[in-house]
Every structure is written in structure tokens, then in C-alpha cells.
Structure 1
């Protein structure tokens, strides 16, 4: 009996040490988390695509619904489930999906609008006849997997980690967007050329900034997940590829218009560095307005 109680006590001490480590957030712990997450995701992807090699069309991953599911969606979904387990081990599930502790400002709604407009434009621009219903459903499911996993990792866990470390909100904004961009730098390993990866990383920083601002102004992670979940599949359906901006799948004129919003993301991201207030300043602002 005594041995069992000792084992339980040791387990509690181990869990508390684990929680203490991650709750004492810092920039390097957040970077470590992102690096480990990226590595685990790559291993999951390698494992799934190896086991389902007969279903994945490597030269044209979007060509069949099963290729979309097992080539891209399932690895991302499994990574997302691991993130949920990680958050659960720290007791973070409820606070991650609860109302945000730091309120947004009215100007931040601009980010939501800038994300929504190109989604609508791409829906109009898509040549739907080029896709089967099964392909569309598979790509929409992929979008949900991407939205859940990437937002849980960056606007969820990373933002909470940095805030728990006492970082000013401006730095939380910059670092969380930067780490999101670094995740996409890993596309170089998959064989993409340097120029494409560089463009993707810059775009990802701008888009990550839009997601942070959307998190602040909507107040809940779920809305950011849904915004992200609508962005990727509409881009894939309109352009005919992943991380591409060509007109292979849609009307080139409309896609050019949608592409301009990527520039707008980066511009607003730079401006937001100066507009986002530190938490202490935001607190004084709320106090002064009652």
C-alpha cells in the first residue's frame, strides 16, 4: 500500500514538474516546442505515407480523394490530436478555447475582413468542374485539419506559453507570427525551391499576424481555426495546388485580386507591430475607459 502511494506521489511530482516547465513560458521554450512539433509531424507524415503508399499519388497529391486524405490530411490530423494531448497534460484545453484574457481593439477587425474577402473571391474564381465532389470534400476536410492543428499550435499553445512567461503582448504578436512562418520554412525539405519557400514564409508571417489579430478581436480560438480552415481549401481549389498562387484551377484575373491580399497581410502586419499595445498599456486603456 505504501509503495502504491509513493508511486502515485512520484507520478504527481513528475506531472507537476512537466507542467511547471511549460507554464514558465519563454521564447526558447516556444521555439523548442515548434521545432519538436515540426519534427514529429514530419515523422508522422513519413509513416502514414509509407503505410498508405498505394493510395498516395506523390506526383499529384490532389488527384484523388484518398491521396488528399492519406498524403496530407491524416498526418496533420494526427499531429493535431497529439497537440490536444499535450495541452490536456498541462490542463490547458479549457483556457485555450475559453474567452481570451487580452481584449482586442476595433481596428483589428480589418484583419478579419482582409482574410474573408479573398476566401469569397477564390470561391467565385474556382473552376468547380475541374474537381469531383469527393475531391472537394477531401480538400475541405484537409482545411479543417490544417486550421485546427496550426492554430492550436501557434495562436493557441504558443500564445499561451509566451503570455504565461510574462511577455508583452507586442512581442507575443511578433513571436507567434514568426514561429508560424518558420513552420512553413520546412517546405524546403519537401523539395520546393528556395524562392517559393521564401515567398511562402513571408506570406505565412503576414497571415499569422492576421490570425493573431483575429484571435484578439473575436476573443476565441475557435473563430481563428474556422477562418484558417476556410483559407487553405479555397486556395487549393482555386489554384490547383498546395502553397501555390497560379491560376491552374480558377480564373486568373480574380486570383490576381485575391493574391494582392497577401501583400496587404504583410503591410498590416508591419503596421500592427506599432499598433498592438503591450498588455500593461492595454490594461490602462481599459481602466481609463471604464
Structure 2
């Protein structure tokens, strides 16, 4: 493996293939959890389902034991005004809630090196208000607009600008600034950051083959500002407004974007946006 441009990890095709296996498992786990979300289930129960599914496939949860203090769950389960990093526990989901579920998994290559997949979805519990459903739609669509803007030879800032431009065009939403997407590979979080706000394109890292990035818009119905709970993990909006979070990990091939955590590699959504699909 080689490294270039401010410590960015460049993967071989074989390493990307291992990341695809991790990404597929993450995508499958999130679809399993989407079906399990219902009134009366606890976030701890969802966490147990995710851990069992990942370990049963011979993989390891990326999140469990991560950081300081060590994260206690396999998933991040963030409900309503919680933006990201919600700790699974006794909270029971109620009709009209939304839950953002972030999930990561590690698979091993032939040398025993682990490679990560990381993705997130936001799911409605029963019926939610129209403005909340629209928040979810805007957040997910902004993710795909960011992915569709990625080109070999382009810049990370192109992704950021596409996310921001779409969200700004849809209404007065808050775009969380202090938490961003990131590089991903042999570690879950690597350079470069992938902000959800456009920045200085000149200083932005170049998009090259072998990079893998996680893009993850976090959008609110109110303020962009956040607070962290006493558990030192859960991030919530400062004004109590509800938030949505969607994420995919992807890479770029000579043909285009390949979304490693999407079950179809992103082919349907990228094609609908008029950009080439880079997967196999």
C-alpha cells in the first residue's frame, strides 16, 4: 500500500475488494435493522441484532471498544434530536420517532489485515410528520449528490460543495459542521476529512484511484450547533430540533464511483443522477 497527499491511504484493488466485503456486510446489517425497527423495540435490542449478524459472518464490529471512553455498542443509535454517536441502551422506540443507525464492520484480507466498512441510515418509526419525512429525504439525497460529484482528478471539496448546495436549495436546514465524513480503510477514521460544507477547493485533497471515503451528511430542522451528553459520546442538537444522518463509504474506479456499502454498489441511484457507475 502507498501513502500520499497528507497521509491519505491509497489501497490496492485487492484491498478495495476486501473493503467491499466489509461494506456489503454493513449494508446487509443496516437493511436487517431497518426491518427490525418498530414501536416497542429498544436500541439495545437493535444493537444485539447487529452484533450477532456481523460476528456470524466472521467479521468484527468497528465501533465496539472504539475511542476513549470505549464505545460500548456495535451500532450508534441516535433518536430524534440526537445527531450521531448515540449509545444503545434501554430506550424504547415510540410511534413517530426517527432513529439514525450508524454501523461499521471489519473484514480481514489474506494477510490478516482488517479493512473497514461504515454506513448509516435514518429510519422512521411508524408515522412521522411531513417535515421530518422531508428532512430524511433531503439528507439522503444530499449524500447521493455528494457521491455523484466525485471524479478522479477532482477534489474532496467537490463532494462537500454538492452536499451543501443541495441542502441549501431545499430549505433552511442546519448543516452540522463539527462532525464530518472521513477517509476509511485499514482504520475506520483516516485523513482526509470530508466536510458537508464547501470549502477552499485549492487546498482540498485530490481524488485519486485507491482512495476510499465515507460521506455522511448530518442535517437538522433547526440549529447546526450541537452538544455532547454526559456519556461523552451522544451528540444532540443544541436547540432540540430533530436530525437525520445518512452515510456511505465509496471509492473511485476509472469508470466512476463505486459505493462499497450499497448493496448494488450504488448503481441505481448514480445512474438516476446521470453519472457513470464504477463498480463491477
Same fold (TM over 0.5): no
In terms of fraction of residues, the more helix-rich structure is 1
Q: Which has the higher contact order (CA 8 A, sep 6+)?
A: 1
Structure whose residues are more often strand by fraction: 2
Q: If you compute each CA radius of gyration, which structure gives the higher value, 1 or 2?
A: 1
TM-score in terms of structure 2 length: 0.31
